[in-house]
Amino acid sequence: MNRFFKAVIITWLFVGTNDLVAAYISQWIKTGKFADKMLFYIAGGILGLDTSMQGGNWIAFLGLCIHYSIAFCATLFFFRIFPKIKFLSFDKYVIGMLYGIVVNLVVAQVIRWFTPLPASSFVLSNAIIAWLILGVVLGIPIAYNSYKYYGVQIPKPGSERT
């Protein structure tokens, strides 16, 4: 397998799984209940909530596919733009956190706009929590693996040559 696609696929599966697990944990912390309808809600982006919430294994599978498709696009996009934008080699942790915010904003403000899902109001405290979670479980791993794939080394403080 091509080394590039191997790096993308491994990163994609890792961040897609981490993001899904984090979403379930986050929902459990907020509500105290397991979010058994989360994949149905995600499928509602295509089917509409009335149809998707009726459930079924195929609808849950559709939601899972949509989730992993978004994670794949986010991973592939970063790997593709990384060598083209020099600013992205600044610091993998800072860039990863910022990329998590960008992905959240794209999903919440752009992708959801094209779906039949109901609009939700913006709550800053909820957005900050989502940004932190996505930065840690999605952005940093994508940035970290991009740095590793492209061989980017960040000089350690005090190691600059004089």
158 in a structural domain = no
Q: Give the tens place of pLDDT for each residue, 66-95.
A: 999 999 999 999 999 999 999 998 899 999
8 in a structural domain = yes
137 in a structural domain = yes
The torsion defined by the Cα of 144, 148, 149 and 151, in degrees rounded to 10, comes to 130
56 in a structural domain = yes
Q: Give the tens place of pLDDT for each residue, 84-127.
A: 999 998 899 999 999 999 999 898 877 777 777 777 778 888 88
Check whether 160 has a pLDDT greater than 80.
Answer: no
Check whether 155 has a pLDDT greater than 70.
Answer: no
Q: Give the tens place of pLDDT for each residue, 5-34.
A: 999 999 999 999 999 999 999 889 888 898
162 in a structural domain = no
156 in a structural domain = no
Q: How many domains does the chain have?
A: 1
Where does the pLDDT of residue 162 fall: very low under 50, low under 70, confident under 90, or very high at 90 and above?
Answer: very low
pTM of the model: 0.87
81 in a structural domain = yes
111: containing domain: 3-150
Note the pLDDT of residue 8.
97
Note the pLDDT of residue 159.
59
96 in a structural domain = yes
